[in-house]
Amino acid sequence: MRLLSLTLQNFRSYPTLRFPCSGGMHLLVGPNGAGKTNVLEAIALLGLGRSCRGVRMAHLGHWGSSFFRVRGDGKSDHSRETSVEVVFESQPSRMAYFLRDGQVPLRKFLGRFPVAIFLPDDLHLFRGSPQLRRRFLNRILTQVCPWYLPQLLKYRHVLNQRNGLLKHVPLPSAAEFLPWEQKLAHLGSSITLARLEFLETLQLTFLRELTSIGLLWSDVLFRYMRATVSRDAFALEQEYLSLLQASRARDILLRSTTTGVHREDWRIEVQGRDLVTFASRGEQRLVFLALLLLAAAYLELRRLEKPVVLLDDLFSELDIEHQQILLQMLSSFQVFITATRVPQDAPGELWQVESGRVVVGDRACSVP
């Protein structure tokens, strides 16, 4: 997939903006706060259907505006022209998704414009909180499984309902808990199985990818950490239900649901040891770069389209050697990179980002 042009209206710091895109590397350079990340967030919105930074839709609009619009015109890897568009209105609050100018439900919109986005927090993926690692899985799976995001949102809604019961005075009966626990078990089982399949697919070529960037390790494993063991959907659902019922007394004391996919985690092990304790910081960065490319390749495998790769301020965390490795790894993708200064020997098109506009060469891109 190649983005040919991007149009923003009342999005973040851009009242209006429209600019063409080339097929290769794009460097968005400017000071902090200039609006570089806002451009990446807009592109990511076209693939994820929501903010890649976890921001509510109502907070993405330009200050004082009642709506925003993000549109991308592009061409598929099979040379088919296409367009994707997201529109939000605040009164009443509603979202609308469009493919080739026809409105579609979210489930049909997701993944039609695949994006692989990596934020500064992702470099702390291995040392950071489990929430970071779950977010990494969710960003990819949202685009390859049409049901994944709706299922995940339903799971969060049901989880909030059960947590509400746990805090209720007087305490509800077991019969009142059971319907919510059954729903959590049903929704959670499919989410877990999708995550397992994704990690197992990455596992197939992960060692080879590590070797190609100079990490000559053996016995490298993705481990998904969960309280369950089943791989059959029905058996896993029953296992989750049993765990929820068994933990109910503890959950009442803590006033929170302590078991389920919202508590699960994953890690990389090298020769039986957690990557965080086995590898140096420099080696962990190399592992992250390998994971970055594998995630992009997985999207291409499942969507039959190369994703657009979005890298937010990644160069500030990498030395020159690692920057060159990254650029070489991504040479076959359309890439948008933000930076506060021009990286050494960086190829591609340079865009200067200033407050409310993007300047390509000496030409400012905007909508009248």
Q: Give the span between the Cα atoms of 182 and 165, in whole angstroms.
A: 15
**Which tokens hold the place of 236?**
């896993």
DSSP state of 59: G
Q: Rounded to whole angstroms, how far apart are CA atoms 353 and 368?
A: 18
The one-digit pLDDT tens for each residue of the chain (368 residues) are 899 999 999 999 999 999 888 888 899 999 888 899 999 999 999 999 999 988 999 999 998 899 999 999 999 888 889 999 999 998 888 999 999 999 999 989 998 999 999 888 888 899 999 999 999 999 999 999 989 999 999 999 999 999 999 999 888 999 999 999 999 999 999 999 999 999 999 999 999 999 988 899 989 999 999 999 999 999 999 999 999 999 999 999 999 999 999 999 999 999 999 999 999 988 888 898 899 889 999 999 999 999 999 999 877 777 787 788 888 888 889 999 998 887 766 778 888 888 777 887 545 555 43
Q: What is the Cα–Cα distance from 63 to 14, expressed in whole angstroms?
A: 10
Burial call 293-330: b when 16+ CB within 10 Å, e when fewer:
bbbbbbbbebbebbbbbbbbbbbeebeeebbebbbebb
* Domains delineated in the chain: 1-114+305-368 (3.40.50.300), 141-281 (1.20.1050.90)
DSSP letters spanning 156-179? HHHHHHHHHHHT-SSPPPHHHHHH
Cβ–Cβ < 8 Å for 162, 184: yes
Instruction: Report H helices in 101-173.
Output: 106-109, 130-144, 148-166
CA–CA distance, 31 with 150 (Å, rounded to integer): 37
**Closest residue by Cα to residue 328 from 342, 348, 352, 306:** 348
Q: Which residues contact 201 (CB under 8 A, 6 or more apart)?
A: 298, 301
Helices (H), 247-349: 248-254, 275-278, 281-303, 320-329
